Structure 1
């Protein structure tokens, strides 16, 4: 068996002009894998490293350049953020290969270096730290998370520039400025005028859910800075007696059965409207399947007799708790009819069932197209709600909640609902469940009244 080897690779793909992502190129058994390090360098630094790849000339007097070379190609370098001497990228990778020896695998190699490279270099500036996470998620093709962190960063820039805490030309936010009071003021700002319209100019309030998403991003990078001793534990501003991250997304989204019936019986000559209604119904009938998973369904996910769909949720496929957890859907006749009406032509088992995305698209293009599809369906569903006189939200997200709550109202056991949704935790499922309908609530409360005194409606 050949031994693994490793080298440094500068990747310009999916990066801003003039920047490269530093990756480790690992070869083993005629296979190559690129391992992100979370480090992004400008073109001048990349050119310097390429020119001096073999060794560092004594003629190089610039201390920053010498330290950069040692950080990438050398054995040890001085980390001016932590004030510590650390092992270089290449040296750590070579040590990992040596330690694994005959037991080498790409998975084990990645795991050994995970703590070193996850998130890349810790910054003392919050905006730079958020930018590093954005770059990392882009490299890992986790584009939804990339988008959230990018939006969180932009929201913080709006806040500190509006408050006159930094310049608009080159905004900065040292982590030592972030206190409990700072985050409480940021939250108040967001809930009053922290959002923007499509032009990016007019200000509007945002929902508490958005604040929760963004402050979780801030907590993530601050936690990394804490672990790397960039900020002291006594100054950590979140949790315990500090800032409390909002729970967000607490209102229950499920629809009453009468409203669901109206939607499922809806008919209209407009094909776009009926297509949206059918996709909403597909989610509702199919275990509340998320629209990102609907878009990614392939014919290979179907059983040969077309009675079941089996798939791993795109949202949780890489999470520790639910990685590899397979969702199995038993197909109702109504679902088969929807597939007959809207399925794309089938040429092979790897083809997508619906034509929202294509195999030729990059992962970023697929992510964008899924978002666009959800927006289009939500727009048409809003028109349907208006025509039917429905005041509640009827978004794609509501279809998933309505599936879960309808089963609960029918006395279906919670573990079955949880399994159907693809959750690994019952507590996660409980967050999805809406309130019981009035008639069912009265029936349950009737159990408190003895004998003939029960309420009859």
Structure 2
């Protein structure tokens, strides 16, 4: 197929197929959703429109069409544009588009309003930790609460990575895995709370750490990741209402909560960034390359001790805040900034 005749339909399809075969189903679904929207915009030209025909005017028209639909928020418009731009960038790397051509996406991303706060307060987290001690709580809600806490204790691990987490990913006192979204290799220390949750839900007949996430009550095969997430979030929202937590409780709130509470302990933003596996953040790429895992593990332990476990009593007359990193950890941070 000649370079100039490569269609957007073909290129989207090939990339989605590659993502699926690489086990990146969530990312593949994001590209599939983007293609569905692009094909609606192209209408009858959907299967014939060429990559080389993407111009600044065409992208601007696509953005205006998305914005004018009335049922999409600015964040949704940005979502479709981001994946279309990523695909265009891949085509450039494959030399299907000349690098000399002007980037048609430059300066066209819509402004996205600030995201509302999605982290729990210390008090709300306490309620959730104690929720499992209540008598008569349904199994589904206990499972949802336990997964939420597992996500929190493992430095904001994403649900899809917990869904796919296998016993073979555990070696000694650490969990080793690759973040599904970015492919970043991460290792997380198994703190005491995580160990208890793993032991609580262990099933010798399953290769997965949390086999109940795949259980289908209807008996029609395994529950896929999206269906499992929806079920879990339904239970979490009910738990939130029961506990009087004002904002909707979801698995993503666990990730925000870990970041917020760790920041409240004075931890460096770069440590939080790498702990979350944000490979796309500039501060991670530049300052955090090679950051020892124990630095992040220590930050996590410090936050848990100060804000969650509360094993150490506060001295009378002093409202002791979470300290900044110790000398060794601070030295790592300074060294990275000097590069």
Name the SS of the counterpart of 1:312 in structure 2.
Answer: strand
Q: Which structure has the greater CA radius of gyration?
A: 1
Residues 124 and 250 from structure 1, CA distance in 2 versus in 1: closer, same or farther, beyond 3 angstroms? farther
1:137-163 deviation digits (Å, cap 9, x = unpaired): 2333332222121111101112233xx
TM-score (norm. length: structure 1): 0.51
Q: Within 5 Å, which residues of 2 pair with 1:176-195?
A: 177-193=53-69
Instruction: Give 1:80's aligned residue.
Output: 2
Instruction: Give 1:329's aligned residue.
Output: 189
Higher strand share: 1
Instruction: Give 2:300's aligned residue.
Output: none
Shift of 1:409: 0.7
Q: Within 5 Å, which residues of 2 pair with 1:2-13?
A: none
Shift of 1:426: 7.4
Instruction: Give 1:139's aligned residue.
Output: 21
Instruction: Give 1:112's aligned residue.
Output: none
Note if 1:276 corresponds to 2:144: yes
Shift of 1:345: 1.9
- Rounded Cα–Cα distance in structure 2 between residues aligned with 1:142 and 1:249: 28
Note if 1:151 corresponds to 2:33: yes
CA contact (8 A) 1:327 1:420 kept: no
CA contact (8 A) 2:74 2:113 kept: yes
Structure 2: segments with no counterpart, 5+ residues: 215-220, 286-319, 322-339
Name the SS of the counterpart of 1:243 in structure 2.
Answer: coil
Instruction: Give 1:285's aligned residue.
Output: 153
1:41-71 deviation digits (Å, cap 9, x = unpaired): xxxxxxxxxxxxxxxxxxxxxxxxxxxxxxx
Instruction: Give 1:71's aligned residue.
Output: none
CA contact (8 A) 1:124 1:225 kept: no
Note if 1:205 corresponds to 2:71: yes
1:349-376 deviation digits (Å, cap 9, x = unpaired): x822211478xxxxxx98x722222221
* Match among 84, 98, 104 for residue 237 of structure 1: 104
- Rounded Cα–Cα distance in structure 2 between residues aligned with 1:419 and 1:232: 31
CA contact (8 A) 1:313 1:422 kept: no
- Rounded Cα–Cα distance in structure 2 between residues aligned with 1:226 and 1:416: 33
- Rounded Cα–Cα distance in structure 1 between residues aligned with 2:53 and 2:278: 39
Shift of 1:309: 2.9
CA contact (8 A) 1:287 1:403 kept: yes
Shift of 1:317: 7.1
Residues 284 and 223 from structure 1, CA distance in 2 versus in 1: closer, same or farther, beyond 3 angstroms? closer
Shift of 1:173: 2.7
Structure 1: segments with no counterpart, 5+ residues: 1-78, 83-122, 194-203, 359-364, 430-442, 445-457
Name the SS of the counterpart of 1:265 in structure 2.
Answer: helix
CA contact (8 A) 2:92 2:98 kept: yes
Shift of 1:280: 0.6
Note if 1:351 corresponds to 2:207: yes
**Number of matched residues?**
277
Larger RCO of the pair (alpha carbons < 8 Å, separation 6+): 2
1:72-131 deviation digits (Å, cap 9, x = unpaired): xxxxxxx6335xxxxxxxxxxxxxxxxxxxxxxxxxxxxxxxxxxxxxxxx543223212
Shift of 1:245: 6.5
Instruction: Give 1:375's aligned residue.
Output: 230
Shift of 1:381: 1.0
- Rounded Cα–Cα distance in structure 2 between residues aligned with 1:135 and 1:280: 32
Name the SS of the counterpart of 2:211 in structure 1.
Answer: coil
Shift of 1:133: 1.6
CA contact (8 A) 1:309 1:328 kept: yes
Residues 379 and 137 from structure 1, CA distance in 2 versus in 1: closer, same or farther, beyond 3 angstroms? same
CA contact (8 A) 1:225 1:231 kept: no
* Match among 66, 82, 94 for residue 216 of structure 1: 82
Q: Within 5 Å, which residues of 2 pair with 1:55-66?
A: none
- Rounded Cα–Cα distance in structure 2 between residues aligned with 1:354 and 1:410: 30
CA contact (8 A) 1:346 1:353 kept: no
Shift of 1:379: 1.3
* Match among 403, 408, 418 for residue 258 of structure 2: 403
CA contact (8 A) 1:327 1:421 kept: no
